[in-house]
Structure 1
Amino acid sequence: MFKCVIFDLDGTILDTEKAILKSLQKVLREEGKDYQLEDLRFALGIPGKETLRRLNVIDVERVHPKWAQIVLEFSQEVQMFKDIKEIIKALSESPIRTGIVTSKTRQELIDEFEPFGLSSFFEHTICADDTENHKPHPEPLLVCLEGLNATKNEAIYIGDSIYDMQCANSAGVKFALALWGSKTTKGFESADYVLNAPIDILNII
């Protein structure tokens, strides 16, 4: 059905929730701001600088790289979701073209994703610093489609956040909810597909 499968990264391929929230909580405390982890969940799925702006951090350009370093302290909290590597490998060995659209910066991708050894399975990756606009704006997804030489009708975007779904909807691309990352279907009633486990990806292509 689809010739191109594009993945979100955090919450879809990598289980990074604890690392992101705990590191954000730590850097904010160092900046004199104290938050409960639950109050920071909105940060999942949007670029780090946008998160800091929404938290009214004054010097975003100074604090953002500081956060990027602190998140590495929580690398033991990050792992691949069960069976996702096998599914991605199977896709890469098929005629299906694969890509990533993530809110991570290119450096964050290098530091936090490349150690898992999955980068070579993807033909094209769009990071936060590759486009002027970010999710939920459609630009990152549209740029990825261009890089993959694919049309919006040939592609599906797999993600776990409302921002991912809004990005796909705005780009005119079908959206599949990674339930293993989102842990809820609430708010995702307009998703084209709900995937309970990574193996379900193979059933929709």
Structure 2
Amino acid sequence: MGEIKKDKERIRIYKTIIFDVDGTLIDTEKAVLGSLQKMLKEDYGKQMQLEELAFVLGIPGSRSLPKLDIMDIEQANKRWNRFMKEFYHEIEVFDGIKEVLGSLEDRNLVLGIVTSKTNQEIIDDFEPFGLSGYMMHTVSADDTEKHKPNPDPLLKFLEISGADPKTAIYIGDTVYDYECARDAGIDFGLALWGCKNSGRISAAYNFEKPQDIIRILE
């Protein structure tokens, strides 16, 4: 069973469930890192191990690529996305996600995503898996000037959806997601099935599997 930590003062009634995409709804780690590794080798002559590149998970290329001493961000992102297509066979929906989204939809909850993907990356990497139909609102990296861990993406979601932060929860898998939720004043649920380093993430809820999300609504 997932570890469910509850607010000691009151039990929140959630009306809005917001999801990160990579590492939360779909498993893209192998594709993201593999395509980046290939791009760095072929275009920049950089030989790097996958574990050295793991820091890019959860943040947009505009923030991660400069950390690799790459300054032609737009061109590098285009190439990265092109190589990503060669790794599409590595992407899959996490077990249980579709069933959980269906159950949440049946409860008439507002569902949405806040992601570091661009609009084009959502079209290419997310929409083919048939999950977009569950989402009423989407905030991508194109929608705000500042990105996770800055709270602006979640604040933008609250603005366009009209959701109350007190009855909203953001579910993600990285410390960037947690910091974004914390500074936006929204509860955070940690998706342990996609998380690689949970030690420094103080989430309101730790979910071992997607089905555990339903438990906080019962």
TM over 0.5: yes
TM interval, shorter chain, is over 0.9
Deviation at 1:184, TM superposition (A): 4.3
What is the correspondence of 1:50-199 to structure 2 with a 5 Å cutoff? 50-188=63-201, 190-199=202-211
Structure 2 length-normalised TM: 0.91
Check conservation: 1:92, 1:122, Cα contact below 8 A: no
Q: How many percent of aligned residue pairs carry the same amino acid?
A: 51
Q: Which ranges in structure 2 are unaligned for 5 or more consecutive residues? A: 1-12
SS at match of 1:115: helix
CA distance in structure 1 between the aligned counterparts of 2:197 and 2:148, rounded to whole angstroms: 20
| 1:34 matched residue in structure 2 | 47
Deviation at 1:58, TM superposition (A): 2.9
State the one-letter code of the partner of 1:135: K
State the one-letter code of the partner of 1:37: L
Deviation at 1:121, TM superposition (A): 0.5
Deviation at 1:143, TM superposition (A): 0.8
CA distance in structure 2 between the aligned counterparts of 1:117 and 1:95, rounded to whole angstroms: 19
Answer with 92-101 or 132-141: which moved more.
92-101
State the one-letter code of the partner of 1:98: L
The list of structure 1 runs, each at least 4 consecutive aligned residues, that deviate by more than 3 angstroms after superposition, is: none
Deviation at 1:183, TM superposition (A): 4.2
Instruction: Determine if the alignment matches structure 1 residue 8 to structure 2 residue 36.
Output: no
State the one-letter code of the partner of 1:83: G
Question: RMSD in angstroms over aligned alpha carbons?
Answer: 0.9
CA distance in structure 2 between the aligned counterparts of 1:40 and 1:22, rounded to whole angstroms: 9
Check conservation: 1:99, 1:148, Cα contact below 8 A: no
CA distance in structure 1 between the aligned counterparts of 2:70 and 2:146, rounded to whole angstroms: 21
Determine which structure has the larger helix proportion and give its number.
1
State the one-letter code of the partner of 1:147: I
Check conservation: 2:61, 2:73, Cα contact below 8 A: no
- Residues 131-151 of structure 1, C-alpha deviation per residue, up to 9 Å, x if partnerless? 111000101001111222111
CA distance in structure 1 between the aligned counterparts of 2:45 and 2:197, rounded to whole angstroms: 33
Q: Which ranges in structure 1 are unaligned for 5 or more consecutive residues? A: none
Check conservation: 1:128, 1:134, Cα contact below 8 A: yes
| 1:23 matched residue in structure 2 | 35
Structure 1 length-normalised TM: 0.97
SS at match of 2:193: helix
CA distance in structure 2 between the aligned counterparts of 1:115 and 1:71, rounded to whole angstroms: 14
- Residues 93-127 of structure 1, C-alpha deviation per residue, up to 9 Å, x if partnerless? 22211110000000000001110111010000000
Paired residues in the alignment total: 204
- Residues 78-97 of structure 1, C-alpha deviation per residue, up to 9 Å, x if partnerless? 00000101101211222211
